Every structure is written in structure tokens, then in C-alpha cells.
Amino acid sequence: MKRVKMTKCRFCGGTEFITGYQNFYGAVYSADSLLHSTSLYHTICRDCGSVVRTYVKDPEKLLKKSKRRTEGES
């Protein structure tokens, strides 16, 4: 997964961010199987509180093991 660097809030222009995560009821489940889930992470502007980005840290967890990339693949 590519890293994304937040530099400026598009709502207020703030430059400081915090990261929070949503788990349990807010988990994302694979469309193929309810057994594969992962937490949602949010990048939040410290000045205005807007959620400026939502993502999952490990999207591979949503795939069946047979479809996951191995460490050496790109």
C-alpha cells in the first residue's frame, strides 16, 4: 500500500492531523466473506475536526488467503 502524506486540510487549511480508528461495529468486511474484516482508520484535522481521509491499513486482509499477494510480489 502506498503511503499518503496529508499536508493541508481542504476544509480549513489546517496542517496538523491525528489518526483514529474505528473497530467492531465500524469494521469493513469483504464482499466475498464475512470472515474477512479489518478496521477503518481516519485521518482527522486537529483544527476543525474534519475527517480528511478514511482507509484500511491492510487491504490484503479482505482477500481470501489464496488471492493475497506474497511479500515478494508487486
Residue 74 has pLDDT above 70, yes or no: no
CA dist 65 to 9, 16, 60, 68, 71, Å?
Answer: 37, 37, 9, 5, 13
Question: 37 vs 26, 28, 54, 67, 70, CA distance in Å?
Answer: 10, 5, 15, 15, 19
Beta-strand runs (E) in the chain: 17-22, 28-29, 37-38, 40-45, 51-55
With pLDDT > 90 as the criterion, what percentage of the chain qualifies? 35
Q: What's the pLDDT score for residue 33?
A: 72
Q: What's the predicted TM-score (pTM) here?
A: 0.69
- Residues 10-26 pLDDT 10s: 999 999 999 998 877 77
